[in-house]
Amino acid sequence: MKLKRVRSEDIASLNSIVDLEKELFLDGGLNIWAIQPIAEYQFIYKYGQGDLCAYAILLSKVKDPKTVYLFSFGVAKNQQGKGVGKSFLKELRLELCSVGFTNLELTVASENKAALHLYKSQLEVLSKSFIKGCYGDGEDREKFVFKI
């Protein structure tokens, strides 16, 4: 599988990512109006061979230019549980290192066992905290800073 940065002109790939966002996050999924400017000014990667299999959306942290925030990360439902997330994360780390980032920040729901296991088994935890009501009542999140 290949990792590729998606540029803002590649509307077909961006629309495939919008479709995956809907599949994985339903109403919480980002639309093309949000994704296109992120591709222009921040970082979007796709992973797959032919069809899009997985994607990552990342934002650089203004207060700390060595840190990048993993805004969204997903594997198509029909490809989950086959090691794609793990190999994608490995490739993504190499790419982010080459761009100059040293730390990866993210939030994840405590119930999201697959994501928690993936991140914690692949990355060294630098710090961890709990954000109550991160996205409103009942939407708590665990926040991690990992070494890339």
Q: Indicate whether 133 belongs to the interface with ligand COA (CB under 6 A).
A: no
Cα 1 to the chain's mean position, in Å? 17
To ligand COA, the closest distance from the beta carbon of 30 in angstroms equals: 13
Q: Indicate whether 86 belongs to the interface with ligand COA (CB under 6 A).
A: yes
To ligand COA, the closest distance from the beta carbon of 74 in angstroms equals: 4
- Pick the binder of ligand COA from 31, 110, 112, 127 (CB under 6 A): 112
Instruction: Report strand pairing: 124-131 vs 103-108.
Output: unpaired
- Pick the binder of ligand COA from 84, 93, 95, 140 (CB under 6 A): 84
